[in-house]
Amino acid sequence: ATTTTKTPSKDPASQNGNNNKAPPQAKVTLSNYGDPDQRRFSPWISVPACLLTYAMYQASSMLPLLLLLFGIGMAFGIIPSSVLTVLTALICLDFAIPLPNGYRPNVERKERYERLFAEGMQHYFPAKSIFLPKQELRQDQTYILAAWPHSLMGGGGHAGLYDFSQHGAGLQVIYSGATIIQYVPFVRRFLTTLGLTDVTKRGLNRILQKPAARPYTVVHLVVGGIHEMFFTPRGATHEQIILHKRKGFIKLALQNQCDILPYYCFGANQMYGRVFDHKSILCRLSSLLQVSLVVWLGRWNIPMGWMPYKVPLLGVTGHVFCVPKLAKDQITDEVVQQVHADFCVALKQLFDTYKHVYVNEMGADESWLTKELKLETE
């Protein structure tokens, strides 16, 4: 389910320091899963499912605050004790029932929800995607889907992940998240059903090491992490991500001889208006505690509102970034530095190229034409 449009294949203007000039045009395809002749679900089902997922994500990230408010409500008699009894029983039941295998999710169930979510995003925002590596993916290779930005929603704000089911040589994406997710009731069960590993070297290696466990050979990694939630706050005139100091995923790719798929979602930072920037005390506490302590505005400027602004989203999965296949004793710091530098250039080129598509095809504000993608040190 795709539509064809014209978009830049390369941005020579960026090489001269001018990112505003529209580059030469080439044909690409944009996803259209929610079109009337293509959709499988009614918008009355897909949109609430999408918004419910956002609400669940926000509730899990605010769990410490919610527990505090719940305790206060119990202490002052606002919340009856029967509610605590029911919740305790449900939580015990959740931990008593074994979780599904997050490394080997049921493909049919996983694809059904990803399709539902993709259609819901297109109807609500709208959201579309571009999938460039259609003819490049191999079933005997493993991949890191290195994704930006983290924004407020992490991977929940990334459009186009369903593209792998449609165009990705039958490969399936396994999502990654903080280890603490495995202990959050109900949320952990939902995510492991879709495919989940924790963001540790051991967890990621289980997917990336060869021989690959086909078709589960792609790991979705939000490289910027929790700290990046405080970058590109409300009113920012550029997009800023954490990449300069993130070299671990490059080393991981070299050690496992896997390749990298660069990904950027235009508009993800604008889904919610975050109030504090990366220099705030809340940012430091979030990084220290590995818990998101973010204050944001939702739709209609509602503080901590769970409904996002209706901004267009465009998720772009770039061409395969091939990593040198070296023996482990050949992987030096110099090699890691060089591959990392090359990847930074590739990601910026992806941004400079497809921001024009974001404006011309998705109706985004023309201010995007002058926006730059900056690293945390810039």
Q: What is the pLDDT of residues 272-286, one digit of tens each?
A: 988 877 777 877 777
Q: Which residue has the higher pLDDT, 126 or 210?
A: 126
The one-character DSSP state at 65 is H
For residue 214, which amino acid is it? R
CA distances from 138 to 56, 128, 179, 229, 266 (A): 34, 24, 29, 33, 27
Total-model pTM: 0.89
* 142, 375, 224, 157 alpha-carbon torsion, rounded to 10°: -90
The one-character DSSP state at 321 is B
Render the burial of 170-179: b for 16+ CB within 10 Å, e for the rest: ebbbbbbbbe
Q: What is the pLDDT of residue 290?
A: 63
Give phi and psi for 334, each to the nearest 5: -65, -40
CA atoms of 62 and 55, how far apart (whole Å)? 10
Q: What is the pLDDT of residue 306?
A: 87
- Range 187-208 average pLDDT: 92
Res 192 pLDDT > 80: yes
